[in-house]
């Protein structure tokens, strides 16, 4: 995978204000406000910053958390999980492995087969419907 290396000025030009806040500054959108929280369409989710394929809708489920949730990424090498100690919390942050953009957090309260809940920000994602066959 080719790592993306852009200046902050480039990111600010290419992303919306909300996308920049989430992807580049580690922000979070309000619960139940994201456009993909209730999306039930069949397709794939990509990083809104660089287009990296991240999640398949087949692994999306309603966690009732207010954010789009998945029980696994499309491939473990597509994301980086690292310790996040911000806001007086200890969590596992999920970053895009391609551009380093903040996507959300992963928790150990998801469904089987993984037991994981990848809780993502809609603004950090783009969705493309799968072509019907």
Residues 14, 20: Cα–Cα separation, whole Å: 9
Q: Is omega for the bond preceding 113 within 30 degrees of 0, making it cis?
A: yes
Mean pLDDT by 10-residue block, N- to C-terminus, for the chain (133 residues)?
A: 82 96 96 96 97 98 97 97 82 95 96 97 97 78
Catalytic pick from 50, 96, 99, 119?
119
Q: Which helix (H) or strand (E) holds 132?
A: none
50 among known catalytic residues:
no
* Residue owning tokens 């696994």: 72
Whether pTM > 0.75 for this model: the answer is: yes
Structural domains present in the chain = 8-128 (2.170.150.20)
Residues 6+ apart with CB under 8 A from 79: 54, 73, 94, 95, 96, 97, 103, 118
CA-nearest of 99, 127, 123, 128 to 20 is 123
């Amino acid at each position: 995978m080719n790592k993306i290396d852009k200046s902050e000025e480039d990111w600010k030009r290419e992303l919306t204000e909300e996308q920049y806040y989430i992807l580049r500054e580690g922000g979070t959108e309000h619960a139940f406000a994201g456009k993909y929280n209730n999306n039930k369409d069949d397709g794939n989710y990509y990083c809104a910053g660089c287009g990296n394929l991240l999640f398949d809708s087949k692994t999306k489920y309603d966690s009732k958390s207010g954010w789009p949730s998945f029980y696994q990424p499309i491939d473990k090498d597509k994301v980086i999980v690292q310790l996040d100690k911000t806001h007086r919390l200890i969590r596992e942050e999920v970053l895009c492995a391609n551009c380093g953009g903040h996507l959300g957090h992963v928790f150990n309260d998801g469904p089987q087969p993984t037991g994981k809940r990848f809780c993502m920000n809609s603004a950090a994602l783009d969705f493309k419907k799968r072509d019907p066959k």
